[in-house]
Amino acid sequence: MAVGFKRAGAGLLVLGVICAGAGWLLSAPRFLSAQQLAGIDDGDATRGRDVFYAGGCSSCHAAPKAKGDDRLKLGGGVRLVTEFGTFIAPNISQDKADGIGNWSASDLANAMMRGVTPEGSHLYPAFPYTSYARMKISDIADLHAFLKTTPEVSGKAPPNELSFPFTFRRGLGLWKLINLSDAKVVSLPDDASDEVKRGQYLAEGPGHCGECHTPRNLSGGVIKSAWLAGARAAEGKGIVPNITPEGRNVKDWSKADLVEYFTSGFTPDYDSVGGAMVEVQENLAQLSDADREAIAAYLKVVPAHANGYPAPRPKN
C-alpha cells in the first residue's frame, strides 16, 4: 500500500517535471524569422510619421495630456487601469539607457509584432501587439526611422502594478499561443475595393480599433466573433461603443459622417467626441483624407453584431 503511494508520488513528480518542461518550451519567446524581417532596413521617416499617428503611439507613450510637440516626447507614464492590474506605458524615447535608443528596426518589429523584447522577455498585451502583428514590415521600418527623429527623454517610467499570477511574464508565452495571430480578422470578399482593404489594414493593424471596441474572453483575448461590437471600458464604469453597422451610435451614419467624425470629432448632429476616443480622433486627424476614407469604408462593410456588452436591465 505504502509502496503504491510512493510509486504514484514518483509518477506524479515525473509528470510534473515533464509538464513544467513542456510549459517552458511552449511559452518560449518567438522571434520573427529572417524571411519575415525582409525589408526592415529600408525605413523612411516621412512615411513613418503616418504610421506613428495611425498606431496611436503618443496616446500611451507621451506624458498624460501632452499636446502638440510634447506628443513626441515618449517618456512613458500613462496608466492603463484594467482588471488584470495597472499597466504603465514605458519610455520609448531614443534615450539609450532609459528608452529604446539602442533598438534596431528588427528589435522594434519583434516587440510590435511578437510582443518580445531583444532580451527575450514577453511584453504584456496592454501593448497591443496582437493588432500590430498584422502590420507590414515596411511600416515598422518606416516607424523606426521616424522614432529615431524623436527626442531623448531620460527616466524610466514606473513599473507595472500587477498582482500574482499576472507578474509571471513567462506565462504570456502560453497566452500568445491562443491569442496572438497575424491573420486578418474580417473575411472580406475577393472583389473588395482597394479602399476597403486599406481600411482593414489600418483598423485591424496599426489602428488597433478592436482592442477597445471588441469584448474579451476570460483570458483577456478579444472575441473575434464579436469584432468591433463594443465592450465594457477597460477603465472605469463606461462602455466603448458598438461600431459595426448595427451599433446604435453609428447605424444611421454615412461614410462621409464617419470621415467627418475622424477629421473634426463632430457627429452628424454636432455632438462631439468624448472620453478615450478624443485621443484617437486627434491621431486620426493627422492621417491623410484617403486613409480616413478607407477606415470609414471598412467600417461600413464589417459584419454587423449585437452589442458586445450586457443588455440593460428592463426598467420595471
Binder among 143, 273, 287, 295 for another protein (CB under 8 A): 273
Residue type, 55: G
Nine cell digits for residue 169: 511574464
What residues between 54 and 113 interact with another protein by CB under 8 A?
none
Cα angle at 291 between 144 and 110, to 5 degrees? 30
Structural contact between residues 284 and 264, judged by C-beta atoms closer than 8 angstroms: no
- The reply to whether 240 sits near another protein by the rule CB under 8 A is yes
Residue the block writes with cell 527626442: 151
d(CA 216, CA 177): 16
Applying CB under 8 A, the span of 85-93, 163-171, 209-217, 302-310 interacting with another protein comes to 302-310
Q: How many Å from the N-terminal Cα to the C-terminal Cα in the chain?
A: 64
Using rule CB under 8 A, residue 272 touches another protein: yes
258: Cα separation from own chain's centroid? 22
312 binds another protein (CB under 8 A): yes
Among 56, 99, 206, 241, the residue binding another protein under the rule CB under 8 A is 241
Work out whether 278 is an interface residue with another protein (CB under 8 A): yes
Site string for another protein, 197-236 (x = CB under 8 A): -----------------------------------xx--x
- Please confirm whether the linkage preceding 165 is cis (ω < 30° from 0): yes
Q: What residues does 240 pair with on adjacent strands?
A: 231
For residue 222, list its beta bridge partners. Answer: 216
Using CB under 8 A as the binding rule, whether residue 311 contacts another protein is answered as yes
Out of 69, 237, 252, 316, the only residue in the binding site for another protein (CB under 8 A) is 237
Backbone φ, ψ for residue 202 (5° rounding)? -65, -45
Nearest residue to 211 (alpha-carbon basis) of 201, 224, 192, 196 = 224
Nearer to another protein by C-beta: 26 or 278?
A: 278
Q: Which residue in 4, 165, 189, 310 binds another protein (CB under 8 A)?
A: 310
Residue 271 within binding range of another protein, rule CB under 8 A:
yes
Residue 239 as a binder of another protein (CB under 8 A): the answer is yes
Q: Is 232 helix (H, G, I), strand (E, B) or coil?
A: strand
Q: How many residues bind another protein (CB under 8 A)?
A: 29
Q: Which residue's CB is nearer to another protein, number 146 or number 261?
A: 261
Q: Given the rule CB under 8 A, which residues bind another protein?
A: 232-233, 236-241, 248-249, 264-266, 269-275, 278-279, 281, 307, 309-313
